[in-house]
Structure 1
């Protein structure tokens, strides 16, 4: 694999491509991206059963998602600096080992507080896979081509949240909720073995040889860039709404609307299909329209669908399907927002892809902590808290895009320095 960027015939490297990696490497990267979904979506149908088994209330069980997001958010900052210095592959391998340990701890947890603690450890490991797989894509691709590849891999990765809740529901029915976490132990071990079968994407000559302490301090420099904060904020509000959806729908669907746990995955899967479709559409349009335009389109749709969700959740209008329909649209906008916001943030900092990817991930998943935490804090047995959190997040997503990343920047998608 070539490790130098080859400019195109015009001397422009904005969409330059490193020697194309094989399908196996891309498949492994897609699997790594899926660890956030794998470690959360698989156990969503088990949350009511976990609540009963661990003698906890609904809010406490929902905090297992918030605890996970704390580890997932903060851990990325460390992995970003480590991978820029020591390489991507060894960093991911260490993270996968922590993921296996945390998953085993969850399987053995005896109360809700222990579960929250082990979920934090699990997240510290899983976040290395997610953050660094994005950096590895940036090592291989640039500009709109990077956005296209991210959308493509996210589409493939979306198989995990599509089948995760359905598989999780069957595991709960057949073997109990603890078996879900033993399944995650197995997935982690298999992926750990696979990571050593792909090449390192960050050669030694391109690594950051600063001390880890200094590299961590550099994050304060990155957050001073207005455009970077704009991309991060746009994605952050969307993630807050998405994790409000993740934390709230099990109880809204199963407890409030009495959907059987084994069928929860079908409703959850509708949103995943929407994400996949949006990512496919984004991968085709982004090379023509640019990632800034596609990001703006996504945030507008997200804002309107989020407001309709809040209305449906607050009034009960339309019953179950009155809530499912706008949630489907809101969740689908992930396909337009995530890849494009990440690509935009990485565009100006190719030499610090690990750190920027980690910072973006920390902000996005940190926002997820707030979103899921608010749903847990205001849980009242109805979909209302989830609906209003999503409504606020959708408006915030659009506001951040328009305020911090002006619409005029949509014309600059291919002109940024690489």
Structure 2
């Protein structure tokens, strides 16, 4: 077994952590081409995205306790192998139904990546070192939504939509190879056999813990904020402000850089502040920032650059709450890190769906975005107050 201080360990875990978001972002530019090639409606093509998230959520809940029982390494190996197979299935699909089924199973397989990355991190680190590790992983994840659509757009323009899934297959193969050769088993608490009752018992224990519940609530609110903005952003910048598609694409890169800066800042602060302080600080500053922005919307005409400045600052600062809440939740249960990781991942996905649904109810205006993000930040701050020190 490779020693856990191997220099390749963190890069491997970063690849695993980025698997889910990369699998989503890469194929987004392919959606119109898929509709034409498979003679499918846009709603049917969009369903391939929804079923991917559903599969990912269910995969988290099933594979997390399994990783506690049989080990991280075995779950990672077989999950990644299934990801390779389903990526090939997606590329070879000749009907939209076949693609939808393949994407659902691919979502389950892709959930292995971030799930194992969080669990292994908890096996190896605790306290401020776990916060630093979490911030590093999230810095890498934040890059994926910026670069993956660019790569996907180039591939679909020159090689066809199928090649995006072949690219995912190669990405999965490379990650699997790294895992099989260099990733060590880090779970020292695993048992020899699985018991269905024990799997559900772990989730019951997590649900009964008020601190874990509050930390998950903070994370859910933060991810609802993110997906609420993501869902509204094309209409805000392209319809409300009249930006071109190219200009809007640049906004994704700017946002990713802001997130990276936030996660880097959270990493530097990890050894200086407690989890709870990071959550309260990040949530409160975001709330006050939103109040100022909404106030500005009432008295002056808001230009696009002011909205960009607000959004970049908001999600840069909110990274402080996200990193600390994730690390704190994972820090609570070293013997059930897989189940805790699964719960965190599943709730993030569910909160993203709620945030997207919330966005559909809002008017397309900067003030509506600022008010909504401000309210969600206040909820995050309120939950943080009740988290035990």
TM range (shorter): 0.7 to 0.9
Q: TM-score, normalised by structure 1?
A: 0.80
C-alpha change, 1:161 and 1:297, in structure 2 (3 Å) is: same
1:31–1:309: structure 2 CA closer, same or farther, 3 Å change rule? farther
In structure 2, C-alpha distance between the alignment counterparts of 1:255 and 1:175, rounded to whole Å: 30
- What is the CA RMSD across the aligned residues, in angstroms? 3.5
> Contact conserved, 1:233 with 1:401, CA < 8 A, in 2?
no
The aligned residue for residue 375 of structure 2 is 395
Indicate the SS of the match to 1:287. Answer: coil
Structure 2 CA distance for aligned equivalents of residues 397 and 32 of structure 1: 29
Match of residue 34, structure 1, among 18, 23, 41? 18
Number of corresponding residues: 387
Mean alpha-carbon deviation: is it higher for 330-339 or for 347-356?
A: 330-339
Aligned counterpart, 2:225: 241
| Cα distance per residue 1:16-46 (max 9 Å; x no partner) | xxx8622211110011111122112223344
- Output the CA distance in 1 between the equivalents of 2:138 and 2:348: 16
Partner of 1:131: 115
Is 2:41 the counterpart of 1:56? yes
Shift of 1:138: 0.7
Judged with a 3 Å threshold, the aligned counterparts in structure 2 of structure 1 residues 198 and 265 are, in CA distance, closer, same or farther, namely farther
2:151 corresponds, among 164, 167, 186, to 167
Separation in structure 2 between the aligned mates of residue 334 and residue 186 of structure 1, nearest angstrom: 34
Aligned to 2:189: 206
Task: State the distance in 2 between where 1:155 and 1:184 align.
Answer: 21
Q: 1:178, 1:249 → 2: CA distance?
A: 28
Question: Residue 284 of structure 1 is aligned with which of 258, 264, 268?
Answer: 268
Q: In structure 1, what is the equivalent of residue 339 of structure 2?
A: 355
Q: Residues of 1 paired with 2:57 and 2:340: CA distance?
A: 13
| Aligned with residue 331 of structure 1, among 315, 320, 324 | 315
Structure 1's 387 and 113: CA in aligned 2 closer, same or farther, altered over 3 A?
A: farther
Aligned to 1:215: 198
Gaps of at least 5 residues in structure 1 are 3-18, 413-418
Do structure 1's residue 406 and structure 2's residue 385 form an aligned pair? yes
The 2-side partners of 1:61 and 1:373 are apart by: 18
Asked if the contact 1:107–1:181 (Cα under 8 Å) also holds between the matched residues in 2, the reply is yes
Change (3 A) 1:302 1:56: farther
1:314/1:388 contact within 8 Å kept: no
After superposition, where does 1:105-184 map in structure 2 within 5 Å? 105-109=89-93, 115-184=99-168
